[in-house]
Structures are given as C-alpha cells and as structure tokens.
Amino acid sequence: MGLTRDFFIMLSENQTLNAAAKKYGLTLGANKVVAGVDIPSTIEAIKELNRKGITATVDNLGEFVFSKEEATKAKEEIIAMIKAIDNAGVKAHMSIKLTQIGLDVDKEFCYENVREILMAAYQHGNMHINMDTEDYNHTVQTFEILDRLKGEFKNVGTVIQAYLFRATDEIEKYKDVRLRLVKGAYKESPEVAYQTKEDIDENYIKLIEQRLLSAKAMTSIATHDHNIINHVKKFINQHNLNKDLIEFQMLYGFRTELQEEIAKQGYQFCVYVPFGQDWYGYFVRRLAERPQNLQLVTKSIFTPQVNKNIAIGAGAVAAISAIALLAKRK
Ligand SMILES: Cc1cc2nc3c(=O)[nH]c(=O)nc-3n(C[C@H](O)[C@H](O)[C@H](O)COP(=O)(O)OP(=O)(O)OC[C@H]3O[C@@H](n4cnc5c(N)ncnc54)[C@H](O)[C@@H]3O)c2cc1C
C-alpha cells in the first residue's frame, strides 16, 4: 500500500473534484468502466453480458449524499432500475451503497429506505439486494442495518472486507446470508485493518476457505486477482463444493477476457455494472487499487467517437495520476 493508493483514496473522497466531474457531465468510462448513463443503455449492456452467460449486479453511481431530497431521489432511481430489470427479464440484481440513500443524513431514514428497496425487489422477482460496504464507520452501520433486516427479508446480503480484523467473526455470524467477499477498497487504520498486501491476501484466502466450507447461502468471490481465482477453483475441486452456491465477480470493463473464460469453464460469473453520471469516486478508487487502470481512460481519448468532455475528464484524471506518481517518487 504505497503513497499512490493513499493519495488516490484521498482524491476519491474530495467533494470539490467530485462536483467538478459531475459539472462537466463526464461519462468518461461510458464505453469502458461505466455500463451506461441511464436505465435503457444499462439494460442493453446487461443483455450483452447475459448473452455471454454472465449475470450482473447493478450499481446506481452516486456519492456524497447529505440531504433527504438527494437520498430519496437515489432510492427512487434504484427502485426504477429494479423494475426495469424485472420488466426486461434480464439476469441481474442490485448493489446499493447506504451512504447514497441517507446513512449520513439520518440512520433511521436510511433504514426505511433500504426496507422500501427490499420490498420493491421482493415484489419484482424476489431480486437480491447487496448492501456494498464502504469505509469502516459506514461499514459498521451497514452491518447494524443488516442485523435488523435479515430476519424479515431473505433477499438481502452484504460484503465482507478481508482487510478488516472483524471479518473472521462476520463470516461465522452470517453463514445464512448471501455474501460477497472482497479485499477491501478504502484506507483503514492499523487498529481495525491489515495494512500490507501480503497480510490482506493471506486473510482473504483464509476467509474464502472458511466461508466456502461453512456457508448455507450464495458466496460471491469478487476479485480480479488471477492467483486468488485459481486458488479458489482448486479449492472447489478438492472439496467437491457445490458450484451453485459460488460465483466469481469482477467489475464491468476489467479483465473481460478472463471473465468470459471463467464463465465458459462452467463457473457462475457476475459482473458489477455501475451506471449513471456520478463516476468520479468509483473511478478514482479503481486507480487507487491499480494505477495502470488509467490506461482504460487514456486509450479512450484516442477513439474517434469520444467527445470533448470525455477528453477533458480523462485529462483531469491523467493530471491527478501524474501528481500522484510524482508524489510517490518523493
Ligand atoms: C465485484 C466487486 C465488488 C466490490 N465491492 C466492494 C465493496 O462493496 N466494498 C469494498 O470495500 N470493496 C469492494 N470491491 C473492491 C475490492 O475490495 C478491491 O479493492 C478490488 O477488487 C481490488 O482488489 P483485487 O482483489 O481485484 O486485486 P488487486 O489486489 O487489486 O490485484 C491483485 C493482482 O491481480 C492482477 N490484476 C488486478 N487487476 C487487474 C487488471 N485490471 N488487469 C490485469 N491484472 C489485474 C494483478 O496481477 C494484481 O497485482 C469490489 C470489487 C469487485 C470486483
């Protein structure tokens, strides 16, 4: 975890840059990392994935929500997408971030919003809703909300971040709940989280094995790390595990050939499909994980159909990463 990662994480939390990105109307990843800017274009992207035997978990992009109006609007957009998925008959469910639907406004208000989303999802094909986990403070609250909801709803699940010390207990506690297992995308303190890549990878493998041997519900292994994926495949075979309860997940636009290869090998595969205008925080967190992801943008600058705004946005991100790389050299 070098300075580059920390620096990009800091940038991803910068509200001014986020607002600027939105103001320019940038959809720089429209053809790469963001599946669509609206519901119809996103449904088309999901159909394309489905044709390849891949399902989708759809995320309505949006961060820094501090008013009830914005949170209510986000909730309505999520419910509109749930209905669209059901109407289109595509194989997809939704991922939501609780900060987008009011966690920073009022926890009770947020809880009611999640309930409403779960009810709508239940009415539309008993669709699964995954509550993404965010930074530590919000993650703790996400689990508190899960604890209140999991008795009432079976279509709710969440994400375990392997860098957190508390993850081992969570795997044990949520055997019956559908879970996504990830390494973790935020900057956390040494009091609560492993800090080195080696420690995080080691704990990630340990947690995956613990979960796969004990789970009574679906497990999603969400990583682009081929070493981990190969390890998991071997583990599944060694222990003759039921593949119906296991899937791999990756982000839209990342390692697409590998995604298709894994799906062709007979494993369930689900792609995380972000859509909307508010791409900034999502994309800069991807740079924090892997600065080479900048290639996704710089390549798109040179495609003829890319518009001027996209180029400006890509330039901004390029400038940001240049600063980060200089900072790293220091
Ligand atoms: C579907 C999905 C959902 C997620 N949801 C959450 C969430 O709710 N909360 C949260 O905190 N985090 C979430 N994350 C992010 C996650 O925590 C990690 O930060 C992110 O996935 C990066 O770690 P990694 O496991 O993919 O591999 P990394 O540790 O980033 O990479 C390991 C190795 O894999 C290879 N590799 C990785 N990416 C590429 C690439 N694009 N091309 C070629 N090789 C590559 C490289 O060899 C690299 O060294 C999610 C990730 C995914 C995929």
| pLDDT tens, residue by residue, 122-170 | 999 999 999 999 999 999 999 999 999 999 999 999 999 999 999 999 9
224 lines ligand 1 (CB under 6 A): yes
pLDDT score for 110: 98
Architecture field, domain 34-278: Alpha-Beta Barrel (3.20)
Per-residue tokens: 243: 């593949």
Distance of alpha carbon 145 from alpha carbon 111, whole angstroms: 6
11 lines ligand 1 (CB under 6 A): no
135 lines ligand 1 (CB under 6 A): no
Instruction: Calculate the alpha carbon distances from 34 to 105, 106, 127, 187 in Å.
Output: 27, 29, 22, 23
pLDDT score for 298: 52
**Bridge partner list, 158:** 131, 179
Task: Give residue 224 CA to ligand 1 midpoint distance, Å.
Answer: 5
Distance of alpha carbon 146 from alpha carbon 155, whole angstroms: 11
pLDDT in single tens digits along all 330 residues of the chain = 455 677 667 766 777 766 666 655 544 544 577 888 799 999 999 999 999 999 999 999 987 899 999 999 999 999 999 999 999 999 999 999 999 999 999 999 999 999 999 999 999 999 999 999 999 999 999 999 999 999 999 999 999 999 999 999 999 999 999 999 999 999 999 999 999 999 999 999 999 999 999 999 999 999 999 999 999 999 999 999 999 999 999 999 999 999 999 999 999 999 999 998 787 778 777 777 887 776 665 554 434 343 444 444 455 555 554 444 444 433
Instruction: Calculate the alpha carbon distances from 325 to 29, 322, 329 in Å.
Output: 22, 5, 6
Selected catalytic residue, list 5, 59, 132, 211: 132
Tell me the best of 63, 183, 207 to mutate to test the pocket of ligand 1, counting ligand atoms within 8 Å of each CB and taking the most. 183
Distance of alpha carbon 287 from alpha carbon 7, whole angstroms: 10
pLDDT score for 305: 41
Selected catalytic residue, list 5, 178, 180, 211: 180
Task: Give residue 249 CA to ligand 1 midpoint distance, Å.
Answer: 10
Distance of alpha carbon 277 from alpha carbon 171, whole angstroms: 34
Task: Give residue 289 CA to ligand 1 midpoint distance, Å.
Answer: 7
Q: Please give the backbone phi and psi of residue 76, each rounded to the nearest 5 degrees, phi first.
A: -65, -35
pLDDT score for 109: 98
Q: Which residues contact 65 (CB under 8 A, 6 or more apart)?
A: 71, 74, 99, 100, 101, 102, 104, 105
| Ligand 1 atom showing the smallest separation from residue 132 Cα | 8
Q: Please give the backbone phi and psi of residue 48, each rounded to the nearest 5 degrees, phi first.
A: -60, -40
pLDDT score for 21: 61
Q: What is the pLDDT of residues 276-314, one digit of tens each?
A: 878 777 877 777 788 777 666 555 443 434 344 444 445
- Show the DSSP H helices in 150-192 as ranges: 167-173
pLDDT score for 304: 39
Per-residue tokens: 301: 């600058």
Annotated binding site: 97, 161, 183-185, 197, 223-224, 285-286
pLDDT score for 310: 41
301: left (phi over 0), alpha (psi -120 to 50) or beta: alpha
Q: Does the annotation count 132 as an active-site position?
A: yes
pTM of the prediction? 0.88
Annotated binding site for FAD: 161, 183-185, 197, 223-224
pLDDT score for 291: 76
Q: Does the annotation count 115 as an active-site position?
A: no
Q: Residues of CATH 3.20.20.220 domain(s) within the chain?
A: 34-278
